[in-house]
Amino acid sequence: MAVKRPWIGTSWKMNKTRAEAEAFARALAASKVASTRKVLPFVIPPFTAIAGVAEILSGTAVRVGAQNMHWAEAGAWTGEISAPMIKDAGATMVELGHSERRIHFGETDETVALKVKAALAHGLLALVCVGDTRAEFEAGATASALARQVEAVFSVTEPSQLSRVVIAYEPVWSIGEGGVPADPDFADEQHALIKKQAVARYGMPIDVVYGGSVNPANCRELAARPSIDGLFIGRSAWDVQGYVGIVESVCESLPGA
Ligand SMILES: O=C(COP(=O)(O)O)[C@@H](O)CO
């Protein structure tokens, strides 16, 4: 049976100048991660650094993505970036629906769905973030909150497109400074429910990665859970040694490593 290769990626959020981003990319290109066949590595720079990072990582195993996009092809959308622009810069994937965009920039399930539809129409891989707030978690409403957000994604995803959608379960209460990483078993349960939702609609599961205070101490335990298909890392992977270290640690823990 084919051994699944976990996704392991990082978004740099609003960090790194072009020079810093390209230095990270050059160091990554010189590492074993650049030629790995054990995991599916990806980095998501700020818009300003995508082209330079994508050029440096071209021909390696590392995918490059964008942190957001608009759903329109073009037009009077000041400050926005379109799918064609993202592809032109060299990205092959786009992160959508991050809780920081839902909280601070008015992103909704409806706008996320518009963006997913546009990303898939342009052949991009859509990494769609879903998560429960602390209030939903404490009320025991995690599953229903995730089901609602995932349904918005599935409502615009054709069966033939499902392989180009990856869900990132990111508890809002786990992300960033002060975030508490989810218990691996709890996260695994949520991932399994999302997979069950996909099977009910499409007859097949979907990849679901975990994000929210992933670090060198918890990466193996999280990656080892059966329904966790990878890790989506922020702070612990913002320096290249941190990112490479987590990838290598997870690789060493994979079956048959
Ligand atoms: O936000 C994310 C996780 O950030 P951490 O700093 O690891 O908590 C995820 O989307 C990767 O950016």
In this predicted complex, what is the ipTM? 0.99
179 CB near ligand 1 (under 6 Å): yes
**Domain CATH code at residue 124:** 3.20.20.70
Report the number of distinct structural domains present in the chain: 1
Q: How far is residue 146's CA from residue 60's CA, in Å, rounded to a whole number?
A: 34
- 228 in a structural domain: yes
100 tagged catalytic = no
Residue 144, domain member (yes or no): yes
Low-confidence ranges of the chain (pLDDT < 70): 1-2
Q: Is the CB of 171 under 6 A from ligand 1?
A: no
CB-CB contact of 92 with 64 (8 Å): yes
The pLDDT of residue 255: 82
> Is residue 171 situated within a structural domain?
yes
Residue nearest to atom 4 of ligand 1 (CA): 234
Q: Is residue 12 part of a domain?
A: yes
pTM of the model: 0.98
Query: Does 170 participate in catalysis according to the annotation?
Result: yes
Question: What range does the domain containing 79 cover?
Answer: 7-253
- Show the 3-state SS of 27-76: HHHCCHHHHCCCCEEEEECCHHHHHHHHHHHCCCCCEEEECCCCCCCCCC
